[in-house]
Amino acid sequence: MRSHTLRVLILVALAVASFQVVFQPVRLDGWRPAWQPPQPRLRLGLDLQGGTRIVLEAERRPGVEVTADKVDAAMRVIENRIDALGVAEPLLQRQGQDRIIVEFPGLQDPQRAKELIGRTALLEFVDTDHQSLPRGAEWLPDNRRVRLPDGQVVSLPKKVVVTGADLRDARAEFDQQSLQWLVRFRFAGEGARKFEDHTGRSIGEYLTIVLDNRVLSSPVIRARIPGEGVIEGSFTADEARDLAILLRGGALPVPVRPVEERTVGPTLGRDSIDRSLRAGWIAAVAVVLFVTAYYRLPGFLASVSLSVYALLVLALFAGLGATLTLPGLAGLILSLGIAVDGNVIIFEKLKEELRAGKTLRAAIAAGWRRGLVTILDSNVTTLVGAAVLLWLGTGPIRGFAVTLTLGVLASMFTAIVATRWLVELCADLGLAHNLARVADLPRRPEVAA
């Protein structure tokens, strides 16, 4: 007698555990577990739930070395800026040596976030002697000439007094007197001293405030300033706030430039989830109906183990914290096909063994023994392909490879182990007659043997 009880317990435990991992009907974060409405806790890709994904690449300029360390530092700066914006659950990742992936799930208007994260935000206080520069004037890359807003180029070397690196704080403020938005900043340590020294020395001269080589304002120095001041520049409220965020977060150690951006609006994202879910349900029901109609009781048992398979794949997926994307969905569908295939292969062999006149038990043993070889070979070839993609791929290709790999592994388990346990259980429960119907035999196989 086989230990059916144990096997059924294992399958049920597996299904329950998987269900818990995916849908979390029981919350376990406190010391006392609590019920909550079950919901799929899968991390959905931006193509499914909506949001923005931006890939930034560090710009290689002569004299500036791009290292992973610098890119990591840039990533931290960007992270601070995003935090200051208050965007929910941003995701930052370094890709390769010189790229940063930034994802904002469910962000409505990425425009502002985009402008913030891509800015180098190098703030410089430049000594321009007796020359005032208009807002928008720009230093050319050689740092010796300035292009004025009207297109005229004048020669003016950039003498930097102090940079934003020494800033301790920056806040947006509304000035009641001028009725304008401005940014109040404060220097710390070395920067404060330099700032104070310079302003003390150069009263009556202009101190031009420059952000990313572009002039913000060019005020005249009226008195020695003890490490604190304001930037005026006829800002709007948002502009002032964003500038304060940029200055607080500091400059990027390397300039970055967006090389890829994908935005899926919330409407389309919601639509995709709904449709995918519906398509998924319909697909599942159609497959179960077909398999059961064709293979009868074993087909139904296969459907049961396919349900375990589906839960298992989703649980592996949720457990690994992987993100489900549209190509990932394709991988799932393909692996569903492979999972069904595993069962079909075995049932066809079972049928042959029964027709050859074997007893049900012998046929089950032989069917699975022969099926195992086929399933292993066909699935290992698929896994080899998926492994190559995992190694090579990024983004969509990787998503496909991950779900395909998990799906194939889980499908081997369900076809080889779970379905067999269920079929053997039914055989011992006296359902042999029903099982043998798979072979369309008019007689009971036990009698025939």
The two three-digit tokens of residue 441, written as one number: 């035999």
Q: Judged by CB, which is closer to other proteins: 157, or 266?
A: 266
Asked if 99 and 58 touch (Cβ cutoff 8 Å), the reply is yes
The β-bridge relationship of strands 99-105 and 145-147 is unpaired
Asked if 375 and 416 touch (Cβ cutoff 8 Å), the reply is yes
Q: Judged by CB, which is closer to other proteins: 36, or 111?
A: 111
Select the span of 6-14, 65-73, 144-152, 392-400 touching other proteins (CB under 8 A): 392-400
CB 213, min distance to other proteins, A: 16
> Which letter does DSSP use for residue 378 in this model?
H
Residue 396 found at the interface with other proteins (CB under 8 A): yes
Select the span of 33-41, 241-249, 255-263, 423-431 touching other proteins (CB under 8 A): 255-263
The two three-digit tokens of residue 27, written as one number: 């919350």
Please select the residue that binds other proteins; options are 226, 374, 417, 431, rule is CB under 8 A: 374
Count of residues engaged in binding other proteins, rule: CB under 8 A? 69
Please select the residue that binds other proteins; options are 42, 113, 231, 404, rule is CB under 8 A: 404
Please select the residue that binds other proteins; options are 18, 208, 263, 305, rule is CB under 8 A: 263
Give the separation between CA 182 and CA 348, rounded to whole angstroms: 77
CB 176, min distance to other proteins, A: 32
Residues 6 or more apart from 63 whose CB is under 8 A from it? none
Beta strands in 111-227 (DSSP E): 123-127, 138-139, 145-147, 153-155, 159-163, 167-175, 180-187, 207-211, 214-217
Asked if 156 and 164 touch (Cβ cutoff 8 Å), the reply is no
Asked if 350 and 441 touch (Cβ cutoff 8 Å), the reply is no
What string marks each residue from 301 to 340 as x (binds other proteins by CB under 8 A) or -? Answer: -------------------------xx-xxx-xx-xxx-x
Give the separation between CA 105 and CA 91, rounded to whole angstroms: 8
Q: Judged by CB, which is closer to other proteins: 18, or 411?
A: 411
The two three-digit tokens of residue 208, written as one number: 């031009």
Please select the residue that binds other proteins; options are 345, 354, 423, 435, rule is CB under 8 A: 345
Residue 293 found at the interface with other proteins (CB under 8 A): no
CB 311, min distance to other proteins, A: 17
What's the one-letter identity of residue 359?
T
Please select the residue that binds other proteins; options are 202, 276, 292, 434, rule is CB under 8 A: 276
Residue 290 found at the interface with other proteins (CB under 8 A): yes
Give the separation between CA 302 and CA 290, rounded to whole angstroms: 11
Residue 40 found at the interface with other proteins (CB under 8 A): no
Please select the residue that binds other proteins; options are 120, 128, 305, 382, rule is CB under 8 A: 382
Please select the residue that binds other proteins; options are 140, 160, 320, 388, rule is CB under 8 A: 388
What's the one-letter identity of residue 378?
S
Taking CA 292 as the corner, what is the angle to CA 282 and CA 39, rounded to the nearest 5 degrees? 40
What string marks each residue from 42 to 71 as x (binds other proteins by CB under 8 A) or -? Answer: ----------x--x-x--------------
The two three-digit tokens of residue 16, written as one number: 């329950």
CB 368, min distance to other proteins, A: 14
CB 13, min distance to other proteins, A: 28
Q: Judged by CB, which is closer to other proteins: 73, or 273?
A: 273
Please select the residue that binds other proteins; options are 268, 293, 320, 449, rule is CB under 8 A: 268
Please select the residue that binds other proteins; options are 73, 287, 365, 448, rule is CB under 8 A: 287
Taking CA 215 as the corner, what is the angle to CA 209 and CA 221, rounded to the nearest 5 degrees? 35
In what order do the strands lie in the sheet containing 167-175?
167-175, 180-187, 228-235
Residue 278 found at the interface with other proteins (CB under 8 A): yes
Rg (CA), the chain: 33
Give the separation between CA 177 and CA 190, rounded to whole angstroms: 32
The β-bridge relationship of strands 123-127 and 99-105 is unpaired
Q: Which residues bind other proteins (CB under 8 A)?
A: 52, 55, 57, 111, 114-115, 118, 258-265, 267-268, 271-272, 275-276, 278-279, 282-283, 286-287, 290-291, 294, 326-327, 329-331, 333-334, 336-338, 340-341, 344-345, 348, 352, 370, 373-374, 377-382, 384-386, 388-389, 392-397, 400-401, 404
